[in-house]
Amino acid sequence: IGFRMVALALAATLAAAGAAATTPAPAVAADGSENEGADCQVPGLPDAGSLPTVSRLPDPFTKLNGTRVTTKSDWRCRREEIKRLAEKFVYGEKPAKPSSVTGTVSRTGITVNVSHNGRTASFSAGVDLPSGTGPFPAVVVLGGFGADTAAIKAAGAAVITYDPLAVGREGTPRNNKQGAFYTIYGANSSTGILAAWAWGVSRIIDVLEQSGGGILRSDATGVTGCSRYGKGAFVVGAFDQRIALTMPIESGSGGVAGFRAIQGESGAQPLSSAYSEQPWLGDAFGSFTGSPARLPVDTHSVVGMIAPRGLFIMDNPHIDWLAARSASVAALGGAEIYKALGAGGNITYWSAVQDGTHCASRSEWRTPLQQNIQKFLLNTGSYTGSMRIAANKSGNLAEWRDWQTPTLGDGDGGGDTTPPTAPSGLAASGT
């Protein structure tokens, strides 16, 4: 194809985008940042010892000062509270961008060099481009199994092959954690390896942003992975608002599954097991494995950290250990946050699948996977998310909450008559 054809195709695309006033902006942070609430004034967090027991899902809409979120724009700083609580009690702190991040992007790979406080570390990732002319959106695939990379590429997105273990190793004791993250922040950091993996993906996006975007776009990144890497994909998406599409697969205990619900789900991996099997969760989570009802945040609120961005949760209802019923509770609870933000169509939960093999490639997911990529990474199509919950692992949200979902105004705090002033992006695309 010559330049002229590309130019014509581009012009046609732009014209189509201009004509379709309903075409949503990519669902990323309004300001394009990793964490847009970093400047929020958050009251002091509670101490672990003074947390009340709350047997149902804590109300995600009640702020630390006891008042409730009333407008969509209030969610920005409520999200920041949830982020800090989730760091303090569940995952450990995910530090902000280090003082120096450099690297390269080629058609086959990405290198990342980080230095901070006199310490340096490097890691790399693979790039596998789809056919066609770039620049391409990309899906970061954690680990080497369970993700349908052929379907991702056929949908028009590149695959970034990321080995999380280079950034946060498994098989280490909690007081001697290893990998690039711990080279920078110390082997006795209390941050768990899921947050370390998330930090690594954020540094890859930093490099994409600096690369000029000739090969891979930095404003259209997705993430996926299965099992332990599904736990990782969930945390990656929750902790970086530059991720437009989060797709955890069979993430189980320590992933999407609600911590409170796991306690009563027959056969589900107990929290004590997930905490001790690997240093996935932060060290502070150790005091909650027997009493998750003391946690001020549960995973429905972590789902809410992803809202209103694209979220496609895939689960396997055939293996009890994978805690799919508890994940459905978290997805249903988190979907209430999406609805309140006017983005109910941006979340999909799908556990109604035939094949019971762990991390199998499933034909049922191929089409919705591609539709999610089209909607959130390519900005095309008219996909609307939904709940496809396997009957044998279907949680009942009504049993898990005593709060109602508020009708949030569009305003900046001055009532619901003021139109939103955010430049782009935060605009809910599910309506």
- List contacts with ligand MCU (CB under 6 A): 227-228, 250, 252-253, 269, 274, 277, 322
Q: Which residue number has the CB closest to ligand MCU?
A: 227
CA 319, chain centre distance (Å): 23
Could you say which of 276, 358, 386, 394 is catalytic?
358
Does residue 358 carry a catalytic annotation?
Answer: yes
Question: Minimal distance in Å, beta carbon 309 to ligand MCU?
Answer: 23
**Residue appearing with tokens 């990144």:** 221
Question: Minimal distance in Å, beta carbon 73 to ligand MCU?
Answer: 36
- Classified as helix, coil or strand, 271 is helix
Q: Which is nearer to ligand MCU, 282 or 411 (CB)?
A: 282
Q: What is the DSSP letter of 51?
A: P
Cα-based distances in Å from 221 to 245, 307, 311: 7, 15, 12
Q: Are 69 and 284 in contact (CB under 8 A)?
A: no
Question: Minimal distance in Å, beta carbon 50 to ligand MCU?
Answer: 30
Residue 59 φ/ψ, nearest 5 degrees:
-65, 115
Q: Which is nearer to ligand MCU, 262 or 340 (CB)?
A: 262
Q: Which is nearer to ligand MCU, 73 or 269 (CB)?
A: 269
What count of Cα atoms within 13 Å lies in the side-chain half-sphere of residue 261?
34
Could you say which of 73, 227, 351, 429 is catalytic?
227
Q: Which is nearer to ligand MCU, 241 or 269 (CB)?
A: 269
Q: Which is nearer to ligand MCU, 228 or 318 (CB)?
A: 228
- List, edge to edge, every strand of the sheet that includes 243-249: 100-105, 109-116, 119-128, 158-162, 136-142, 216-226, 243-249, 310-314, 347-350, 387-388
The DSSP H or E segment spanning 136 is strand 136-142
Question: Minimal distance in Å, beta carbon 401 to ligand MCU?
Answer: 26
Question: Minimal distance in Å, beta carbon 222 to ligand MCU?
Answer: 20
Q: Which residues are catalytic?
A: 227, 358
